[in-house]
Amino acid sequence: MSRALSAKVAIVTGASRGIGKGIAIQLAEAGATVYITGRTLLPNGQGTSLTDCAEEIKKRGGRAIPVQCDHEKDDEVKDLFDRVGTEQNGRLDILVNSAYSGAPAYIDHIEEPKSFWDQPLETWDQHNAVAMRGSYICGVYAARMMVPARKGLIVNISSQGGLTYHLHPVYSVGKAAADRIASDCAHELRERNVAFLSLWPGATRTEVFTEWMKNCQLKASNVHETLNERYLFNSESTEFPGKCIVHLATDSDVMRKSGRVFTTNDLADEYGFKDIDGRSPPDFVRRVRDRLSAAGYTRLAAWVPSFVKIPGWMLTAYYHIL
């Protein structure tokens, strides 16, 4: 699929590190001109700046345009889309809403779980000011460019937290909102041939969580060993979601997916690709074998074919009943 996105224009928010960076790298490697956004523009010695991302993309033969942007500030978001419109003659083919400012709060919930009433009120904004509200604002500006062209793809990066409780109500509410934004906006965009969907990556080897796993106080405990095995050694690379979006962007029938939620594993199985290390990451959401293995039933899991999955409707019904 080399250079399959030549002449395409993309925006990836939150691309200075993590999943956003991985997505930007894959889109650029496939030939797209990628505008990458984030709050950290210049190198900070940690490899987590927009400049670092742009340099990595350049090394792979791609083109990235770093734009410093705080997605909590509406005027900066508007300036971003105005700039893309001016420089690309009004063209925008792909928007990926990956910006998320809640990673530190997410780790705090793991290390020191507290009930929502014991959390400071700003916890809401830490998780949702950028990821929830920001994805809607970006979706509005992107649609204004895509609707006249009658083509485009918008992807919200979400998680299975949108389906069931995960760590903290504020986190889960934010992910459910990201999924619903995609679904409802897709309803209004359907006749305009613009696809809007939600993507759930699995456990991912981002810089933040990899570093935390190496340094957290649980290092010597059985809990840490379990987390380390599941989330580091059996996790996705940050570029795996990017491979998903490259395939979506080159799918001539992508509109049939609009308004829906997909796991990265679902798309990898459908389009027939693996992660950048040649592996197929475990699917702890739908693949029965992987769920059994994660629960400790390794012998039973060995007898279950990898293609056996829990139907999406059954998964939704199960969690909603609970």
Q: Which residue has the tokens 């570093």?
A: 211
Nearest to 160 by CA among 175, 170, 182: 175
| Alpha-carbon distance values, 9 to 81, 124, 249 (Å) | 12, 33, 11
Q: Dihedral of CA 256/151/57/197: which sign?
A: negative
Task: Tell the burial category of 201 from Cβ atoms under 10 Å away from its Cβ (0-12, 13-18, 19+).
Answer: buried
Residues annotated as catalytic are: 171
State the greatest distance between any 2 C-alpha atoms of the chain, in Å, as a whole number: 59
- Contact predicate 217/112, CB 8 Å: no
Instruction: Round to whole Å and give the CA distance between 11 and 33.
Output: 9
Nearest to 144 by CA among 97, 177, 192: 192
| C-beta neighbour count of 115 within 10 angstroms | 8
- Contact predicate 194/208, CB 8 Å: no
- Phi and psi dihedrals of 146, rounded to 5? -85, -35
